[in-house]
Chains A and B, each alone.
Chain A
């Protein structure tokens, strides 16, 4: 059985969903989402319980497609993230339908769910892509879908503005990606990363590095690294919240997996130190800017956007301290970090949606008095926020911990120092939420309404965060494949 059946399942599932969507009654559109979740569930099931059965042997696509542990992990990661994004969309559909076709029905929301599947298929392919061409195509599948997801609320100016900004800057970064690929191709005569790796020498280093720099620009855009981070705050704030969550988690993760694929041959070559240097610069700048710019924020969604920039910086750190040896590898650390980041960030976005539905606001001030309005939710929020800040005994700690450990072992002193400044600043801005929840009183003392679905999901994620905080080993089981 060929392993790209997984992508095909998701892709065909998406098309089928589009068909179903066309014939389903406006009140029933949410069933599209459930069907989508079901399809993704099948894919996930196949991935985890039948992965031994997949192979890429003797297939035409082997040149473009890898099925290693990294790919398996990120495919699973993408599917889980998409499922959670769909669940989040279900919670968010009131707002969504308000700004689409007909506010009272759920007429315009159906396509929204389908799009996630296409994006998911693209990302799954990205996890396996090992040729610049397939990387480009998979990336664009995801990106173009994301444009629609961002600008989906066509009666909401913020969403449209975000869509346009994303579109222009995204297309700009695509231009750099293609141009970079062209130069690498020019220098090596191939787009196969494995073959490129063999041809990296000091002699053709200028062309190669020029091409690589252009590709890195594009990938930095994708993961939200400074100085290509500019779109993130605006787009995250304007986009529908499920899109924001999807972008900040799944999209960022696929950006990193591609980055790993692209830079791996360079880092293992004699140009390794140069590439590591530029990565270290990116990491340090990203951490510093992401964390410091988050301090004055008053909108929680925008805060999460800056936090997502900051996290990109933390993830870049282990890459800059490249280690492919048999101890803790950089790839493992990145995967580990992202796995934990997924749990925490989705929990945070679920909480945000709950708060938004109750107060109609994304501001930090909307959290005021939560400690009294819903103590359980407040407690869980506190734990999640603590995890995002990186408190020990929460899962969030371990990601940062491993990243720092890697960087310290690799001797990246400047990024490490900046990183610690960033974490300290992180405490400052994350704890503002806790302060709002517990130390401030809201004018509205009515209890917060929360759907059982959200409550359960947040509870499960919180429990996972705590358990992994004490016992992080299970993440390795997933990462190790």
Chain B
């Protein structure tokens, strides 16, 4: 079943490349995936989703798919939601439909594959599969300084992947595990000294992929230049791969991670405060959003730091749920914002904040949806991000007894100031774009609002934000269930 989820977009992409009707195939595939993916909520721990094929005997590597636990389910839901809406958003340049839609589908397939893999190798490999079309799309069909941006993201993320791979190989070698399956790896143990080195590689490797400070300079230009669906998928979904991986592998290096707790905290505060200030100084809506997405990674890292400090998910039961909810929320909200920024770019012809103003008059629906996304991203209660952020802050103070502040608590307090910073830039941008008197680019003769049909993708994301925001338990319940005992169907191929 899991394989179907990955194959649908891949096959659709192949069909598109062979000359099928690009748009309808892509939309159909993504819709099918959405239904299947949402359906998994009810059936994920029944075992029907599991698959395990050995593709290499020495070392033993399996094409193993399935839902490892509730976190995978949540990430898959995020992926199918964003994939579906990404397919429907943006505007494909004339004559490039094949490239456009097949790339989007491949990125989606890669992301789904990564989150569905229960084998460390394929977890890594699927992510790479998703990166290549990302690079290509930014370089070919992006806007603005697309080539520089694309080259930068290519080099950065490749480097990150390499460092990560080094960490993963070392991890497996040190664990002594016979296979690369998560279940075997997580059942093994590594001595403390080795853990430290592996943890460093994982932090840097995953960190580059997540745009952890100071490896963040690729993110904003790439998102600003990327075609809307690519920015949505990468910032919304693919970037979460790194965090997902860190959390997934954390139990194996829990001791080693503690050596780096101080650094982790410094870096995450770099994300929140340093990049926060960088964001305030942005003059363009797309760059502002790109930087804000970098900044918000810091909060998820904060939850991770809290987990590291506590030493296990039992000692800090809040950290992982906090990170997961915030990952989901950030994914949806940033996808929504990138989608709408692209809409603004197309409707008004500019994303320079100085050239915008009063757009709410001509495009109230757009203004509402963008406002919802903006409010979500600055952590307004009732929208998903708040649920995540409040859990992050709680996880930071978990175990605090009132006798002096630990480093994680201080980080939490400083991170809270980031909430103010994000409100500053987000409201400033919203004020500059939608409020005030209309200007040449935004008057109502020039700009038309969303049609009722065009707002469907945005509305889907908005609803997701609302559902999780109003009732976070809808996601958290998924995290509580135990995964199904994995099927022992190893079809050895030798």
- Asked whether any CB of chain B lies closer than 8 Å to the CB of A98, the reply is no
Closest A residue to B113 by CB, please name it.
A393
Q: Given A423-B162, A424-B159, A439-B150, A397–B56 Cβ distance below 8 Å?
A: no
Are A392 and B124 closer than 8 Å at their CB atoms?
Answer: yes
Closest A residue to B55 by CB, please name it.
A471
Are A472 and B55 closer than 8 Å at their CB atoms?
Answer: yes
Residue ranges of A at the interface with B (Cβ–Cβ < 8 Å): 327-328, 332, 371, 375, 379, 382, 386, 389, 391-393, 397-398, 401, 404-405, 408-409, 416, 420, 423-424, 427-428, 431, 434-435, 438-439, 470-473, 476-477
Question: Chain A contacts of B36 at CB under 8 A?
Answer: none
Are A328 and B58 closer than 8 Å at their CB atoms?
Answer: yes
Say how far B101's CB is from chain A's closest CB, in angstroms. 14
> Taking each of B58, B98, B136, B163, which has the highest tally of chain A beta carbons within 10 Å of its own beta carbon?
B58
Question: Chain B contacts of A471 at CB under 8 A?
Answer: 55, 63, 493
> Interface digits, B400-419 against A, CB 8 Å rule (1 contact, 0 not)?
00000000000000000000
Q: How far is the CA of A377 from the CA of B155 in the complex (A)?
A: 24
Q: How many A-B residue pairs have CB under 8 A?
A: 91
> Taking each of A391, A423, A439, A470, which has the highest tally of chain B beta carbons within 10 Å of its own beta carbon?
A439
Are A473 and B155 closer than 8 Å at their CB atoms?
Answer: no
Closest A residue to B58 by CB, please name it.
A328
Are B129 and A427 closer than 8 Å at their CB atoms?
Answer: no
List the 10 closest A-B pairs by CB distance, nearest first.
Answer: A392-B125, A427-B158, A439-B139, A328-B58, A392-B128, A408-B173, A471-B55, A424-B162, A393-B125, A424-B159
Are A473 and B54 closer than 8 Å at their CB atoms?
Answer: yes
Closest B residue to A440 by CB, please name it.
B147
Are A398 and B150 closer than 8 Å at their CB atoms?
Answer: no
- Asked whether any CB of chain A lies closer than 8 Å to the CB of B59, the reply is yes
Q: How far is the CA of A348 from the CA of B166 in the complex (A)?
A: 27
Closest B residue to A428 by CB, please name it.
B155
Are B124 and A470 closer than 8 Å at their CB atoms?
Answer: no
Question: Chain B contacts of A375 at CB under 8 A?
Answer: 98
Closest B residue to A404 by CB, please name it.
B169
Q: How far is the CA of A420 from the CA of B154 in the complex (A)?
A: 16
8 interchain pairs (CB within 8 A)? A405-B169, A408-B170, A420-B166, A427-B155, A434-B135, A435-B147, A438-B140, A477-B494
Are B59 and A473 closer than 8 Å at their CB atoms?
Answer: no
Partner of B140, one of A328, A401, A404, A439: A439
Query: Which residues of B95-133 are within 8 A (CB) of A?
Result: 98, 121, 124-126, 128-129, 132
Closest A residue to B151 by CB, please name it.
A435
Q: How far is the CA of A168 from the CA of B393 in the complex (A)?
A: 71
Q: How far is the CA of A401 from the CA of B169 in the complex (A)?
A: 8
Question: Chain B contacts of A405 at CB under 8 A?
Answer: 59, 169, 172-173
Given contacts A391-B132, A438-B136, 20 further A-B contacts (CB under 8 A): A328-B59, A371-B140, A382-B136, A392-B121, A392-B129, A393-B126, A405-B172, A409-B173, A416-B166, A420-B162, A420-B166, A427-B154, A435-B150, A438-B139, A439-B140, A439-B146, A471-B55, A472-B55, A476-B56, A477-B494
Question: Chain A contacts of B24 at CB under 8 A?
Answer: none
Say how far B97's CB is from chain A's closest CB, in angstroms. 13
Are B147 and A439 closer than 8 Å at their CB atoms?
Answer: yes
Question: Chain B contacts of A428 at CB under 8 A?
Answer: 155, 158
Question: Chain B contacts of A401 at CB under 8 A?
Answer: 165, 169
Closest A residue to B110 by CB, please name it.
A393
Are B56 and A386 closer than 8 Å at their CB atoms?
Answer: no
Question: Chain B contacts of A477 at CB under 8 A?
Answer: 494
Closest B residue to A327 by CB, please name it.
B58
Question: Chain B contacts of A392 at CB under 8 A?
Answer: 121, 124-125, 128-129
Partner of A473, one of B56, B124, B169: B56
Partner of B162, one of A398, A409, A427, A434: A427
Say how far A402's CB is from chain B's closest CB, in angstroms. 8
Q: How far is the CA of A257 from the CA of B170 in the complex (A)?
A: 28
Question: Chain A contacts of B55 at CB under 8 A?
Answer: 470-473
Q: How far is the CA of A439 from the CA of B154 in the complex (A)?
A: 13
Are B59 and A476 closer than 8 Å at their CB atoms?
Answer: no
- Asked whether any CB of chain A lies closer than 8 Å to the CB of B281, the reply is no
Partner of B63, one of A328, A439, A470: A470
> Interface digits, B18-31 against A, CB 8 Å rule (1 contact, 0 not)?
00000000000000
Q: How far is the CA of A235 from the CA of B494 in the complex (A)?
A: 42
- Asked whether any CB of chain A lies closer than 8 Å to the CB of B473, the reply is no
Question: Chain A contacts of B172 at CB under 8 A?
Answer: 405
Question: Chain A contacts of B146 at CB under 8 A?
Answer: 439
Q: How far is the CA of A420 from the CA of B167 in the complex (A)?
A: 11
Are A408 and B129 closer than 8 Å at their CB atoms?
Answer: no
- Asked whether any CB of chain A lies closer than 8 Å to the CB of B57, the reply is yes
Q: How far is the CA of A309 from the CA of B233 in the complex (A)?
A: 38
Question: Chain A contacts of B169 at CB under 8 A?
Answer: 401, 404-405, 408
Are A391 and B56 closer than 8 Å at their CB atoms?
Answer: no
Question: Chain B contacts of A473 at CB under 8 A?
Answer: 54-57, 493-494
Say how far A199's CB is from chain B's closest CB, in angstroms. 33
Say how far B171's CB is from chain A's closest CB, in angstroms. 10
Q: How far is the CA of A424 from the CA of B160 in the complex (A)?
A: 9
Question: Chain B contacts of A438 at CB under 8 A?
Answer: 136, 139-140
Say how far A420's CB is from chain B's closest CB, in angstroms. 5
Q: Given A404-B169, A405-B173, A427-B155, A391–B128 Cβ distance below 8 Å?
A: yes
Q: How far is the CA of A409 from the CA of B17 in the complex (A)?
A: 42
Query: Which residues of B56-73 are within 8 A (CB) of A?
Result: 56-59, 63
Question: Chain B contacts of A397 at CB under 8 A?
Answer: 125
Closest B residue to A422 by CB, please name it.
B162
> Interface digits, B43-62 against A, CB 8 Å rule (1 contact, 0 not)?
00000000000111111000
Closest B residue to A480 by CB, please name it.
B494
> Taking each of A371, A472, A473, which has the highest tally of chain B beta carbons within 10 Å of its own beta carbon?
A473
Say how far B174's CB is from chain A's closest CB, in angstroms. 9
Q: How far is the CA of A392 from the CA of B58 in the complex (A)?
A: 17
Are B58 and A435 closer than 8 Å at their CB atoms?
Answer: no
Say how far A364's CB is from chain B's closest CB, in angstroms. 14
Are A476 and B494 closer than 8 Å at their CB atoms?
Answer: yes
Question: Chain B contacts of A427 at CB under 8 A?
Answer: 154-155, 158-159, 162
Q: Given A327-B58, A328-B59, A405-B169, A431–B494 Cβ distance below 8 Å?
A: no
Say how far A316's CB is from chain B's closest CB, in angstroms. 18
Question: Chain A contacts of B135 at CB under 8 A?
Answer: 431, 434
Are B56 and A420 closer than 8 Å at their CB atoms?
Answer: no
Say how far A63's CB is from chain B's closest CB, in angstroms. 33
Say how far A116's CB is from chain B's closest CB, in angstroms. 33
Are A420 and B173 closer than 8 Å at their CB atoms?
Answer: no
Q: How far is the CA of A431 from the CA of B161 in the complex (A)?
A: 15
Q: How far is the CA of A393 from the CA of B55 in the complex (A)?
A: 11
Question: Chain A contacts of B165 at CB under 8 A?
Answer: 401, 404, 420
> Interface digits, B75-100 against A, CB 8 Å rule (1 contact, 0 not)?
00000000000000000000000100
Closest B residue to A439 by CB, please name it.
B139
Q: How far is the CA of A237 from the CA of B135 in the complex (A)?
A: 30
Say how far A438's CB is from chain B's closest CB, in angstroms. 5
Say how far B317's CB is from chain A's closest CB, in angstroms. 34
> Taking each of B126, B132, B147, B494, which has the highest tally of chain A beta carbons within 10 Å of its own beta carbon?
B132
Are A476 and B163 closer than 8 Å at their CB atoms?
Answer: no
Closest A residue to B166 by CB, please name it.
A420
Closest A residue to B146 by CB, please name it.
A439
Say how far B163's CB is from chain A's closest CB, in angstroms. 7
Q: How far is the CA of A435 from the CA of B54 in the complex (A)?
A: 35
Question: Chain A contacts of B63 at CB under 8 A?
Answer: 470-471
Question: Chain B contacts of A434 at CB under 8 A?
Answer: 135-136
Are A476 and B58 closer than 8 Å at their CB atoms?
Answer: yes
Are A431 and B56 closer than 8 Å at their CB atoms?
Answer: no
Q: How far is the CA of A108 from the CA of B169 in the complex (A)?
A: 52
